[in-house]
Amino acid sequence: MTVRVVLADDQPLVRAALEMVISATDDVEVVGEAGNGAQAVQLVAELRPDVVVMDIRMPGMDGIEATRAVAGETTVLVLTTFDEDEYVYAALRAGAAGFLVKDMALAEILAAIRVVAAGDGLIAPAVTRRLIAEFAARPGPVQRQAGAERLAGLTEREREILTLVGRGRSNTELAAELVISVATVKTYVTRLLAKLDARDRVQLVILAYETGLVSP
């Protein structure tokens, strides 16, 4: 099954580079391109793509507002310069399934598109800790109390898994650290998603910080 992608970026060269890589594959295709957030929202309504690769800084409607508008209809991968963008966390809160860094290799960006199209949230492991530490909101006592109530139904093992997910561990790293199988880790993660009403792994990371399980 072919993954249908919309590219939303105000830089034509960025879109051209991504389109060139994607067009060389058999399982991913670009069905539309947008130069700003409003165009991206319109294309999602018209084309119903599987994934939108969304830049944050665009004229008019930016990527955060556009992500908020389409997150319920498609999967959004945020595209960021990372070092400059203080809005990544806000984009994840708006419903993005993950983020891409503009200086990543094009092949890695293509792989990320496939990952989120398959239903997995994506936070690049190499920058997870730095991203959350720099951009995660610091919840106050009331928010932390509310977060603690959300975690009340978790077992000790589930809290441990959530903490490690929040620290950016992959399933393989989790399995090695806890001396359990990868299949067992996946079962725990699936259970956490259901218990916490989280959409994907990205939301679990955010929740781990908001509830104070992990500190920036």
pLDDT, position 108: 82
pLDDT, position 141: 46
pLDDT, position 70: 96
- The second-level CATH assignment, the architecture, of 3-122 is 3-Layer(aba) Sandwich (3.40)
- In CATH terms, 139-210 corresponds, of 3.30.1490.100, 3.50.50.60, 1.10.10.10, 1.20.120.330, to 1.10.10.10
Binning pLDDT at 50, 70 and 90, where does residue 192 land? very high
Helix (H, G, I), strand (E, B) or coil at 6: strand
pTM as predicted: 0.70
- Among the ranges given (67-76, 80-89, 106-115, 203-212), the one the predictor scored with the smallest mean pLDDT: 80-89
Convert the pLDDT of each residue in 102-146 to its tens digit: 777 888 888 888 878 877 666 655 445 555 555 555 554 445 555
Residue 106 amino acid letter = L
pLDDT, position 6: 97
Rg (CA), the chain: 17
Q: In the chain, where are the structural domains located?
A: 3-122, 139-210
pLDDT tops 50 at residue 23: yes
pLDDT, position 110: 87
**Separation between Cα atoms, residue 102 and residue 109, nearest integer Å:** 9
User: What percentage of the chain reaches a pLDDT higher than 70?
Assistant: 84
Helix (H, G, I), strand (E, B) or coil at 64: helix
Stated as kind and residue range, the H or E segment containing 3 is strand 3-8
| Residue-by-residue DSSP string for 83-109 | SS-TTHHHHHHTT-SEEEETTS-HHHH
**Separation between Cα atoms, residue 216 and residue 65, nearest integer Å:** 26
* Phi, psi of 12, deg, nearest 5: -55, -35
